[in-house]
Amino acid sequence: MLPIQMVDLQRQYQPIKEEILSGIEAVLDQAAFINGKPVQEFSNALAQYLDAKHVIPCANGTDALQIAMMALDLQPGDEVITPSFTYIATTEVVALLRLKPVFVEVDRNTFCMDPESVRKAITPKTKAIVPVHLYGQAAPMDEIMQIAQEHNLYVIEDNAQAIGGTYTSKDGSVKKTGTIGHIGCTSFFPSKNLGGYGDGGAISTNDDALADKMRMIANHGQSKRYYHDVVGCNSRLDTIQAVVLNAKLKRLDQYIAARRNAADYYDAAFAQHPAIQTPQRAAYAGHVFHQYTLILHGVDRDGLNAHLAAHQIPSMIYYPVPGHRQKMFDSFGLPQYNLETTDWLTERVISLPMHTELDEEQLAYITQKVLSYI
């Protein structure tokens, strides 16, 4: 049996090796390392894939969120609602821009933002909502967009873990995650479903004015060279990463299918076990399984983690400390949050290996070792 990894990028690379090496060699020959032709090709291809009017590539997913918030002209002290149960980047940029993070609950079955918790958190200072499509599953966007419309709020989708995922609205229309709110942000960190061989990110929108502004912000606030209309930053996707992403984007749906097949195997193996809750697939969501995350009931999670490690099986806890309990926010004068579901999940979730190259022998071995402990 081949070694088991949380994400096996080496095996994924082999079928696309020649295409990537050829593309990188062309970049080296042309010395077009910044804003080379592959960057625009990737931007156009991703816009077509998402059915989004605009895609603005940038340096990473955190920059994507920062640029999006900068484009909305939010002022220090304005409130931005986010789930506490997410990776820190979602709220880190809120703090960086001296905005006020407001943490809300998630649904304990889907792990995504709870609309009723959002509704209760709105104040006159609320300016934006940032739903996170956690682990690859879409947040309940119909309800979130309705709340935003009622209160004239912006919605920025954190789509870092769910690129290629779909959302089916109550009217039957189907959209890709990252194209439902006013702005969508994603990451191309190597372990992501669409990952580069280094850092990268992108922003999507159907709003022409926002697109123009975000392009300026990502390029030092320039409207044209040396004319700086707004305060910006320096955030670009380099040409070599675009070569890699172009090759992978063509195969993204294939990669998603492989992840779903692995999730199906896990689901079947753990079905009906009273101590294991498998990921719920919301009826409205086309889950893309960036992570395969279990909820454990009455199980020593640290013991299971150690048991798996002893059998050369990696596992991870995403995330052991929620946002509302991070020390970095102590100086923001935030209230004492009572987020029972979030705290409950942080004590019980564990993620198993999930990637495009998992084979049946590996999946059988992983599930056997999990069940032998529980």
Are the beta carbons of 288 and 258 closer than 8 angstroms?
no
CATH number, domain 252-373, options 3.40.50.300, 3.30.930.10, 2.170.190.11, 3.90.1150.10: 3.90.1150.10
Domain ranges of the chain: 9-249, 252-373
Q: Which fold has domain 9-249?
A: Aspartate Aminotransferase; domain 2 (3.40.640)
Residues pairing with 157 in the sheet: 184
Distance CA 366, CA 13 (A): 23
Distance CA 23, CA 25 (A): 5
- State the amino acid at position 80 in one-letter form: V
Task: Answer whether 9-249 and 252-373 agree in fold.
Answer: no
How much is the pLDDT for 324?
96
SS3 of residue 175 by DSSP: strand
> Nearest-CA neighbor of 291 among 365, 345, 369?
345
Which residues in the chain come in under a pLDDT of 70? none
Distance CA 60, CA 4 (A): 27
How much is the pLDDT for 334?
86
Total-model pTM:
0.97
Q: Any alpha helices (H) in the chain, and if so which ranges?
A: 9-13, 17-30, 37-50, 61-71, 89-96, 115-121, 141-151, 208-218, 239-249, 252-270, 301-310, 340-346, 360-373
Burial of 320 (0-12, 13-18, 19+ CB in 10 A): exposed
Predicted confidence (pLDDT) per residue in 200-259, tens digit = 999 999 999 999 999 999 999 998 899 999 999 999 999 999 999 999 999 999 999 999
How much is the pLDDT for 180?
98
Residue 124 tokens, joined: 């006159």
Residue 118 tokens, joined: 């959002």
